[in-house]
Amino acid sequence: RWHYLNGGGGITMETESKDQDDLRAAILNYDFTRFKMVECQTLEDWQGAIAAKIDEFKALDEQFQGRRLPVCIGIDSIMGKASQYTIDQVKKEGHVTPGWNLYEHKAITKWLQVATALMTGWPFSLVVIGHLKDGMPNFQGRSEKYIPGAVAVDYQSVTEIAMVRAKTEVFKDPRDL
């Protein structure tokens, strides 16, 4: 919303095929003139679309006489779609082989290294949604949360927000989430 209120806009790469248009409309005050959503079918779809949009938004700098507009670029969610490589493997073999998701992990890591460099010096925010999973329990019996396929997100992130849906009315200590 900050981007919108400061004259900019946003774009979301929708990878889950379950758009939350009511929530987005409320956040944007029902003004879609500076917001776009792109339905993506593969990992390469959202990566390519964001790279193209970064170039497009930078080109607007000339149109607005050097005033750099803030842009929020969202991915919902980072592991929402498989890569074309994995899709082709499933079509050929009928299943995935062990280590199938390593391609996606590496592709996301390399892409983030490039994309964040392309955004340096520009008022662009990259918002990545990933679904937290429980990791292996540590020696105290607690398991750490992680985002599958998104090790590089931890490395590149500035702020991380964890949200959980309360299933009961019992208060939970946020340190245990």
**What would the DSSP string read from start to end of the chain?**
-HHHHTT-EEEEEE-SS---HHHHHHHTTT--TTEEEEE-SSHHHHHHHHHHHHHHHHHHHHHTTT-PPPEEEEEE-TTSS--HHHHHHHHHHSSPPTTTTHHHHHHHHHHHHHHHHHHTTS-EEEEEE---EEEEE-TTS-EEEE-TT-HHHHHH-S--------SSSS---GGG-
Q: Higher-confidence residue: 157 or 29?
A: 29
Task: Summarize the confidence of residues 147-166 as an average pLDDT.
Answer: 63
Task: Summarize the confidence of residues 61-86 as an average pLDDT.
Answer: 85
By the 10 Å C-beta count (0-12 exposed, 13-18 middle, 19+ buried), 89 is classed as middle
Q: What's the confidence (pLDDT) of residue 52?
A: 95
* Mean pLDDT estimate for the chain: 80
Tell me the per-residue pLDDT of 1-12, one tens digit each, with 9 for 90 and over: 788 888 888 898
Q: Higher-confidence residue: 153 or 58?
A: 58
Closest by CA position to 17, among listed 90, 91, 76: 76
pTM of the complete model: 0.77
Tell me the per-residue pLDDT of 88-127, one tens digit each, with 9 for 90 and over: 989 998 988 776 667 888 898 889 889 989 999 899 999 8
Strand partners, 143: 137
Q: What's the confidence (pLDDT) of residue 19?
A: 67
